[in-house]
Amino acid sequence: MSAPLVDIRNVSHRFGQLPVLKDVSLAIEPGSYTILLGPSGSGKTTLLSILGGFVTPSEGKVFIRGQDCTAVPPAKRPTTTVFQDYALFPHMSVGGNVGFGLRMRGIDGATRAAKARDALALVGLAAAFDKKPHQLSGGQRQRVALARALVIEPAVLLLDEPLGALDLKLRRQMQDELKAIQKRIGTAFVHVTHDQEEAMALADHCVVMNDGGIEDEGPPERVYARPKTRFSATFMGESTILAGSVSGAENGIVTVSTAVGPVSLPGAPPAGDTVALAIRPEHLLLGEARGSVALGAGKVGDVVFQGSFKRVLAASALDAALQFIAKAPASATVQAGDTIAISCNARDIILLAD
Amino acid sequence: MRAAVRLAAWVYAIAVYGFIFLPVVVLVLFSLQATSFPIPPFTGPSLRWYQAVLADARLTSALVNSLLVAVLSSLASVTLGFLSAWGFARFVLPGSALLRGLITLPLTVSYLIIGMGLLVLFNWAGVPKSLLAAGIGHVVINLPLCFAIIYSQMGDHQINIERAARDLGAAEWKVLLLITVPVMAPAIFAGFFLSMTFSWDEFVISFLLTRFETTLPVEIWNLLRSGLNPKTNAVGSLVFAVSIVLVVFFELTLLRRKPA
Amino acid sequence: MSVSGSNPRALPWALVTPALAWTLLFFVLPFIAMGFSSLTAHEGGGFTLANYSQFFADPSYWRAMVNSLEITAIVTVISILLAYPFAWILAEMVPERWQRLALMLAVLPFWTSYVVRSYSWLLVLAQNGVINRALTGIGLIAEPLQLANTRFATVTGFVHFFVMLLTLTIFANLKQLSPSYRKAAADLGAGPARTFLHVVLPLTLPGIMVGAFLTFVLCIGDYITPQILGGNNELVMPQLVMMQIGRRGDFPLASALSIILMAVVTIAYLACARWLKIERA
């Protein structure tokens, strides 16, 4: 396997006394779509700024295409950034904006215009060449920012919450377009977001960040189905979390004692460990003992109709502090106030070291 | 009751307008006086005093001096103010708050005292009184104004715009010339025109720091010693007209730039 | 080669140094020079505190400071009282599309040269000027009133200028106020008067303070208006300063008086400092 396109090695960063990144290492493969997912304050934007050259890390190194770029200024590294607020030059036409990077590289006007038009066509805005940024809608500005960054053919395109300012419907539409454009041109994209749906829809490689560190990374399917940490299990999609301790381990099967009784499932941790069990909402089964693992009764607190399903919140009858989050079919008749048996299958339980 | 309050409000507003415009109207009206005293009754209209002003070489050269000092000192003020505002807004400098305070400090000091200080300094240093000395004083009063206006308009959004330009390969001076200056143009214009009007109007610094060649307000002051005179009305009306042209131009250029 | 590429530390300083140098050279240094001068004897040089003690010992000098403070206080109060309702009417009662024009008109004479502005008031207030002619004309008075060369004339000239200045600042303040505040107050049951008293007035107070401070600084340091309109009957500090330079060439005493005047303004500034911050948007 070839060397990674971007190799972030043991990067730490502090703003003043405040550590915002703690010993982060990350490899980005050519042609991949990487998502940095995390809540605000998790360090994801700082990591992107370090990649873009706007911030020089306190410690650690950044290699791009094998070269040490740690202290190379933004203009001199093969990355370009699409800013959250787009940062279009308000006094230039769309064509002027898109051609700016080429102009800075001394490329003549005719070539520049031709390339800018191609880039605009790529993002579906060929007709906007002569318009001013303020004449465009938010989604269109977003595309211009994308075209402007792509036209200079960076090795890595960095996107800082690029869809954050758009309304939900437009966001989903732009998601699809971003993915299509990325696949067409094959440039590696690194995209920062706090929206886990966006992450799942776009990423080849999903990096979940929290508190200055990487919690989990991998293909989004894997991160969702088998999150490595409790944070990852609750941030990338919802989960019901059962805290417990391992009371027995034998032949690859562990028994965990929890507030709702002992639960047996495949796993390795030795007896005595404290663990957490995470169960995705769609894996919780409501009604008479349907799954292999009974989780006791729950008193339904709230039922929220979501269109294609109902989101059910229920407090455990055995431990009031335990909240079940379940997904019931839209046709389910469950109501707030009902007491209902809850179960699941052992294979759907995610075992997390706590 | 409500109607009475509304009426009272309109009467009040008209009275204040009357108060504000009374001296200007009297000034302009009696500049058209045909006889030698700018007091009632009105004997015009006549343009003889305007002719007298235009024939007065001292006044016309003072007018040229005033324009020269205003344009050059405003250019200097806006350039220094812009560069320093950019430096302070975009870079972390040690003691930034203190240094910014130093630059804006002259705003809180009377022109008289600024003029006095320069007079004492130039006197000691052997710098002769001149239009250049007055121009230096005008930069002292207008630089903090330009700095404050431009600095207050440098928002975080513009930081990203400049970053984007750098990211796309623009050298620092290209960022300045191609991005920052055009984006900041309204604030730069505002600073320049305000400086122009203040310098054009300034009396006490010019009075203290010039001698033979002087600016229009000082020359008008010299005219005042001859008492009430329609010639003073005429030159005053002309100065007013120039200020109004500046202000209207300023309003129009800024208004047109602002999206509705 | 970019400047930042060669030396990233040098660029910011290169940007701010010219302005700082200008301020140090032509503002701070003159001030120091004035300080030294104020401690020098007019005749023969040498260190002395005489210039300051002269101010504190001579009641006519004291009087000028008292006049300055009295006139400034009167002007500030009258100007605010006149300008606030005026700005309110412009902001609240004039239809939106005419507001800019109404405001521009209201401050148009603001842009006349201030020498000319004071002279214009002299035309209005003179012995045989417009007001006296009008009043005698309609038979309200028999003899012309002594209006020019009085404190009344000085105050009128000042108030004229500062009403315009304060209208500008207060208008801007009223317009910045989000209409939701007033709606919220009305929604919670406050009538117009109470809304004004408890919501609008407190929210516009900072703007008034900025305006009042500007008025104070500009008024107490102005030479032209009292000289042209007030005449020499009643001296204020700037007139006293100018007299030392003009008649006697007494730079040390003029410097000392300037520094005392400056000290008074500084005290006022410190008192209002919390309202006068210049910050980035």
pLDDT in tens, C169-186: 888 888 877 777 777 777
d(CA B76, CA B58): 27
Nearest to C265 among B103, B104, B108 (CB): B108
Which residues from chain B sit within 8 angstroms of residue C222, using beta carbons? 110, 112
Give the pLDDT of residue C3: 35
pLDDT band at C94 (very low <50, low <70, confident <90, very high): confident
Tell which of A76, A88, A89 to mutate to test the B interface (max B CBs under 10 Å): A89
Give the pLDDT of residue B232: 87
Please check whether residue B175 lies inside any domain of the structure.
yes
Quote the tokens at residue C124: 């209005």
Q: Give me the amino acid identity at C281.
A: A
Give the pLDDT of residue C6: 41
Q: Which domains does chain A have, with CATH numbers?
A: 6-233 (3.40.50.300), 238-353 (no CATH)
A281: DSSP letter? G
Contact C222 B110 (CB under 8 A): yes
Contact C120 B124 (CB under 8 A): no
Query: Which value, to the nearest 10 degrees, does the dihedral of the CA atoms of residues A163, A167, A170, A171 take?
Result: 30
Nearest to A104 among B157, B174, B259 (CB): B174
CA-CA-CA-CA torsion sign (B99, C206, C102, B108)? negative
Tell which of C113, C164, C255 to mutate to test the B interface (max B CBs under 10 Å): C113
Residue of C nearest to B30 (CA): C123
CB A175 within 8 A of CB A201: yes
Residue of A nearest to C6 (CA): A73
Contact A83 B171 (CB under 8 A): no
Please check whether residue B129 lies inside any domain of the structure.
yes
Give the pLDDT of residue A73: 86
pLDDT in tens, C75-85: 999 999 999 99
pLDDT band at B75 (very low <50, low <70, confident <90, very high): very high
Give the pLDDT of residue B255: 57
Count interface pairs A-C at CB distance under 8 A.
5
Give the pLDDT of residue B224: 86
Which range, B152-156, B177-181, C138-142, C272-276, is most confident? Answer: B177-181
pLDDT in tens, B171-204: 888 888 899 899 888 889 888 988 988 898 889 9
Q: Give me the amino acid identity at C96.
A: E
Work out the minimum CA distance from A309 to partner chain C, whole angstroms.
Answer: 39
Nearest to A75 among B161, B169, B185 (CB): B169
Averaged pLDDT score across all residues of chain C? 83
pLDDT band at C274 (very low <50, low <70, confident <90, very high): low
Exposure pattern of C214-249 as b/e (b: 16+ CB <10 Å)? bbbbbbbbbbbbbbbbbbeebbbbbbbbbbbbeeee
Q: State the CATH number of the domain containing residue B221.
A: 1.10.3720.10
| pLDDT of B54 over the 70 cut | yes
Torsions phi, psi of A207, nearest 5? -115, 110
Which residues from chain C sit within 8 angstroms of residue B16, using beta carbons? 82, 86, 106, 163
Give the pLDDT of residue C280: 39
pLDDT in tens, B98-144: 999 999 888 888 889 999 999 999 988 999 989 999 999 999 999 99
Find the range with the poorest average confidence among B74-78, B223-227, B249-253, C119-123. Answer: B249-253
| pLDDT of B50 over the 80 cut | yes
Count interface pairs B-C at CB distance under 8 A.
267
Please check whether residue B28 lies inside any domain of the structure.
no
> pTM higher than 0.80 for the full model?
no
Please check whether residue B5 lies inside any domain of the structure.
no
Give the pLDDT of residue C1: 30
Please check whether residue B234 lies inside any domain of the structure.
no
Please check whether residue B188 lies inside any domain of the structure.
yes
CB A104 within 8 A of CB B169: yes
In percent, the amount of chain B with pLDDT more than 70 equals: 97
Please check whether residue B207 lies inside any domain of the structure.
yes
Helix (H, G, I), strand (E, B) or coil at A137: coil
| pLDDT of C154 over the 90 cut | yes
Residues C83-86: contacts with CB within 8 Å, 24+ apart? C83/C162, C83/C163, C83/C164, C83/C166, C83/C167, C83/C170, C83/C211, C84/C166, C84/C170, C84/C208, C85/B9, C85/B12, C86/B12, C86/B13, C86/B16, C86/C163, C86/C167
| Cβ within 8 Å of residue B149, ≥6 positions away | B81, B187, B190, B191, B194
Chains touching A (3+ CB pairs < 8 Å): B, C
Which residues from chain B sit within 8 angstroms of residue A99, using beta carbons? none
d(CA A291, CA A299): 18
d(CA A14, CA A246): 38
Give the pLDDT of residue C8: 58
| pLDDT of C150 over the 90 cut | no
Work out the minimum CA distance from C249 to partner chain B, whole angstroms.
Answer: 11
d(CA A92, CA A112): 15
pLDDT band at C4 (very low <50, low <70, confident <90, very high): very low
Q: Which residues pair with A340 in a beta bridge?
A: A298
Contact C23 B103 (CB under 8 A): yes
Please check whether residue B61 lies inside any domain of the structure.
yes
Mean pLDDT on B67-84: 94
| Cβ within 8 Å of residue C32, ≥6 positions away | none
Give the pLDDT of residue C113: 78
Q: What is the mean pLDDT of each run of 10 residues along chain A (354 residues)?
A: 82 89 92 92 91 90 91 88 89 91 90 93 91 90 92 92 85 89 93 90 93 92 90 87 86 86 84 87 83 87 88 88 89 87 89 81
**Which residue segment(s) compose the domain that B144 sits in?**
57-227+243-257
Contact C261 B208 (CB under 8 A): no
| pLDDT of C236 over the 70 cut | yes
| pLDDT of C251 over the 80 cut | yes
d(CA C171, CA B83): 31
Helix (H, G, I), strand (E, B) or coil at B185: helix
Q: Which domains does chain C have, with CATH numbers?
A: 59-275 (1.10.3720.10)
| Residue of B147 and C281 predicted with greater confidence | B147
Residue of C nearest to B244 (CA): C111
Question: Whose structure tokens read 């590294």?
Answer: A77
Helix (H, G, I), strand (E, B) or coil at C231: coil
pLDDT in tens, C65-75: 999 999 999 99
Chain C interface includes A73 (CB < 8 A): yes
Chain B interface includes A72 (CB < 8 A): no
Helix (H, G, I), strand (E, B) or coil at A124: coil
Ordered DSSP codes for C11-73 = HHHHHHHHHHHHHIIIIIHHHHHHHHHHTB-TTT--B-SHHHHHHHH-HHHHHHHHHHHHHHH
pLDDT band at B258 (very low <50, low <70, confident <90, very high): very low
Domain count, chain B: 1
Give the pLDDT of residue A63: 93
Mean pLDDT on B85-89: 89
| pLDDT of C112 over the 80 cut | no
